[in-house]
């Protein structure tokens, strides 16, 4: 089964959001255009409690994008974003959500961050996504969304470890740090991930 995984296409990651990904809104038409080419479509949402450990506001004397250690693991401190139930956590209004069969929410545990769609950052808890996709018979997994260098990258990495044949849709994803992402793309290719565009799918 050919599956599309749409990662965190949420208002707070758009140009006017609290944690904007440059030109993040430009991926929405490309995601909409390819949806008919998939047997199964699944999406994720960042879904943080307001007192989440990754928010700089919850650490006295710290600023956005500072790095600290939590449980011995490096943690970037982010602006408050995708707080449960807020408009910022909602999908971009132009994203076609009618064909999304299931939504997996991540980052719900206030004590640990969760970039990957599959696991929290310490790999302590599974979201259940891998089991769901395997039960559905997913053979080829196409990933896209925001941000390409963070949540999409960590999701792709875990998807490969879970044994899925992975495709990264370049023009349906945008990175927070485009220079850093160029290096990550090389590591993705080395993992066996195939780079495609929406035109290749259409």
35: left (phi over 0), alpha (psi -120 to 50) or beta: alpha
Length in residues, the chain: 202
Instruction: Choose, from 12, 106, 158, 185, the residue flagged as catalytic.
Output: 106
Is 106 a known active-site residue? Answer: yes
- Residue whose C-alpha is closest to residue 181's, from 150, 142, 135, 158: 150
Q: What whole-number distance in Å separates Cα of residue 154 and Cα of residue 106?
A: 13
Q: Within 10 A of 187 (CB to CB), how many other CB atoms are there?
A: 12
Assign 3-class secondary structure to 6-35.
Answer: EECCEHHHCCCCCCCCCCHHHHHHHHHHHH
Helix or strand holding residue 160 (H, E) = helix 153-161
Do residues 26 and 51 lie in contact, with contact meaning Cβ atoms separated by under 8 Å?
A: no
Q: How far apart are CA 19 and CA 184, in angstroms?
A: 20
The residues annotated as belonging to the active site are 8, 106, 151
């Amino acid at each position: 089964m050919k599956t599309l995984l749409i990662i965190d296409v949420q208002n707070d990651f758009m140009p006017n959001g609290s944690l904007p990904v440059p030109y993040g809104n430009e991926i929405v038409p490309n995601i909409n255009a390819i949806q008919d080419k998939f047997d199964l479509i699944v999406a994720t949402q960042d879904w943080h409690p307001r007192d989440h450990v990754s928010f700089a506001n919850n650490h006295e004397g710290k600023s956005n994008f500072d790095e600290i250690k939590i449980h011995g693991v490096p943690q970037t401190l982010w602006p408050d974003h995708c707080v449960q139930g807020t408009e910022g956590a909602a999908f971009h209004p132009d994203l076609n959500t009618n064909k999304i069969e299931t939504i997996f929410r991540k980052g719900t545990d206030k004590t640990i961050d969760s970039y990957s769609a599959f696991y929290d950052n310490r790999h302590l808890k599974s979201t259940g996504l891998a089991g769901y996709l395997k039960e559905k018979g997913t053979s080829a997994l196409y990933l896209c969304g925001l941000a390409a260098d963070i949540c999409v990258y960590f999701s792709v990495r875990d998807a490969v470890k879970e044994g899925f044949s992975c495709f990264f849709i370049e023009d349906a994803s945008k990175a927070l740090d485009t220079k850093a992402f160029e290096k990550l793309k090389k590591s993705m290719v080395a993992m066996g991930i195939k780079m495609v565009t929406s035109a290749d799918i259409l």
